[in-house]
Amino acid sequence: MNVRIEPTWKEVLEDEFQKPYFEALTRFVKEEYASHRVFPPGSLIFNAFDKCPFDRVKVVILGQDPYHGPGQAHGLCFSVPDGVEFPPSLQNIFTEIESDLGIKAPRSGNLERWAGQGVFLLNAILTVTAHVAGSHQNQGWEIFTDRVIHLLAENHENLVFMLWGNYAQQKGKFIDPSRHLVLKSVHPSPLSVYRGFFGNRHFSKANEYLQAHGKTPVAW
């Protein structure tokens, strides 16, 4: 199957695109886009991959589902396009960055600036029907993104994985902490943020680790 995706990702995922589950997933996604309002726009489903080539990944942040409100999702977890109001979890992420590093929240919630520095912003599920959270669960996306995480963990050394909340931690439970830095905390959602996300200092810890292993820190 010919999937339009950044070339370095296409090379490492080529076998995955030929598997029966991915062909079934593709049929499902095409039918959903044809019959419902689905986010993100079809051209941005693989935006996280396109903005952060496989060989440039330094940090992996794992989300669950795309935003399901109009104009929010654009293929990068937690990110929103320029001019869109910050969702609560993203606002809490910026609050922690300011507390941790003294960097004030930017005007835009578009995290492509992170992706361009090697921060891979991966949702476990890459599509969603408008206003129906979790509507594309158990259709194959989870299998695909599990493979993506495995490929990153197996083919790179000294990555930083930020696993926020039980879902992300379960999805990344196989990652070898002797090869990579695995940072865990509760999710930045308003329901849990005061139970350990605020004060986790993940952003400074990530940069310290990157620098210790000869990599450029991220300008968060």
**DSSP helix/strand/coil, 178:** coil
**Residue of 69, 117, 119 whose CA lies nearest to 89:** 69
Helix, strand, coil percentages (3-state) for the chain, rounded to 5, are: 40, 10, 50
**Residue of 216, 213, 143 whose CA lies nearest to 179:** 213
Query: How many beta carbons lie within 10 A of that of residue 141, not counting itself?
Result: 23
DSSP at 104:
P
| Catalytic residue (one of 55, 65, 100, 146) | 65
Cα(102)–Cα(87) distance, integer angstroms: 21
Strand pairing category for 181-185 and 160-164: parallel
Q: Which two tokens stand for residue 130?
A: 């408008």
Length of the chain: 220
Q: Which two tokens stand for residue 97?
A: 């960055």
The DSSP string of 127-141 is -EETT-TTTTTTSSH
**Residue of 14, 61, 71 whose CA lies nearest to 41:** 71
Q: Is 82 a catalytic residue?
A: no
- Just list the catalytic residues: 65
